[in-house]
């Protein structure tokens, strides 16, 4: 499994796709730094920057880019055949891919979120955002990795989930929030470091349980889905 993880990480950072990971984190840190430098009241910019940009855009979009890239490109170009011919359990392949995706997504999103949280409020708030980002990265990565196995347009469907389900329906239709990873992250973060910037719409127990459901369910389904692929790279 470690070999697959190493190859995946090397391939991910060797592609131009990795360059897409930089602008959003830099934008998040830049906006927070500018507001702090000009002594703008965090109550005026904290929610818009930390939640509106950090949790609603940076974390899910980075997870989408990485999650669909660790395996989706191999499915598209046919190199998945080389992996399938190796004497490796499908479980180990998926777990290695998920480990890389979640790890890269968590680090790339957690660092700027910590900085933004620190500038907006305190170290405790920054660390709470890190915990929320890690939980969210794992759930998002499992979901987007699965999408790369069940559809040829995982990025499009992932964007639909982020923009429509979470961004639109999740804010105005209460029943959809129970299936919103963004809401789980907000609730978990707010529980650790309560501030006026966050307003969790789901309870913490629901957030924890549903995060686990997304992570475990997506992983198990992805393992089963990969197991249905033949050596020709197609589902049997």
How far apart (Å, rounded) are the C-alpha atoms in residues 189 and 138?
Answer: 15
In a domain, 236, yes or no: no
Global pTM value = 0.92
The tokens describing 194, both together, are: 């309560």
* 234 lies in some domain: no
Q: What is the CA radius of gyration of the chain?
A: 18
Q: What is the pLDDT of residues 133-192, one digit of tens each?
A: 999 999 999 999 999 989 889 999 999 999 999 999 988 888 899 999 999 999 999 999
Structural domain contains residue 232? no
Q: Is residue 32 part of a domain?
A: yes
Cα-based distances in Å from 220 to 3, 16, 212, 224: 21, 30, 12, 6
pLDDT of residue 158: 97
Cβ pair 229, 88 in contact under 8 A? no
Quote the pLDDT of residue 15: 60
Return the pLDDT at 233. 47
Pairwise CA distance, residues 12 & 71, whole Å:
10
Q: Which residues contact 30 (CB under 8 A, 6 or more apart)?
A: none
Residue-range definition of the domain harbouring residue 169: 2-227
Q: Is residue 116 part of a domain?
A: yes
Higher pLDDT residue, 90 or 8? 90
Task: Count the domains in the chain.
Answer: 1
Tell me whether residue 175 is in a domain: yes
Residue 235 region by backbone torsions, left for phi larger than 0, else alpha for psi between -120 and 50, else beta: beta
**Cα distances (angstroms) measured from residue 21 to each of 25, 74, 107, 136, 210:** 7, 20, 11, 16, 26
Of 42-46, 104-108, 174-178, 217-221, the one with minimum mean pLDDT is 174-178
pLDDT tens, 48-59? 999 999 999 999
Rounded mean pLDDT of 117-141?
97
d(CA 102, CA 118): 23
The whole-angstrom separation of Cα 155 and Cα 147 is 8
């Amino acid at each position: 499994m470690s070999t697959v993880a190493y190859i995946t990480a090397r391939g991910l950072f060797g592609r131009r796709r990795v360059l897409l990971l930089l602008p959003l984190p830099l934008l998040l840190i830049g906006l927070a730094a500018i507001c702090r430098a000009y002594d703008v009241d965090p109550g005026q910019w904290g929610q818009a920057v930390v939640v509106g940009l950090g949790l609603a855009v940076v974390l899910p979009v980075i997870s989408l880019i990485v999650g669909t890239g660790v395996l989706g490109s191999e499915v598209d170009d046919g190199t998945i055949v080389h992996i399938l011919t190796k004497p490796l359990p499908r479980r180990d392949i998926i777990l290695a891919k998920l480990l890389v995706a979640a790890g890269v997504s968590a680090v790339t999103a957690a660092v700027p979120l910590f900085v933004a949280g620190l500038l907006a409020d305190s170290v405790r708030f920054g660390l709470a955002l890190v915990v929320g980002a890690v939980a969210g990265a794992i759930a998002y990565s499992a979901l987007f990795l699965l999408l790369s196995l069940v559809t040829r347009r995982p990025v499009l469907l992932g964007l639909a989930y982020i923009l429509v389900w979470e961004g639109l329906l999740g804010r105005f239709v209460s029943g959809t929030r129970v299936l919103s990873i963004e809401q789980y992250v907000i609730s978990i973060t707010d529980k650790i470091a309560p501030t006026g910037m966050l307003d969790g719409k789901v309870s913490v127990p629901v957030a924890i349980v549903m995060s686990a459901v997304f992570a475990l369910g997506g992983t198990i389904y992805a393992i089963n889905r990969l197991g249905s692929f033949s050596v020709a790279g197609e589902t049997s």
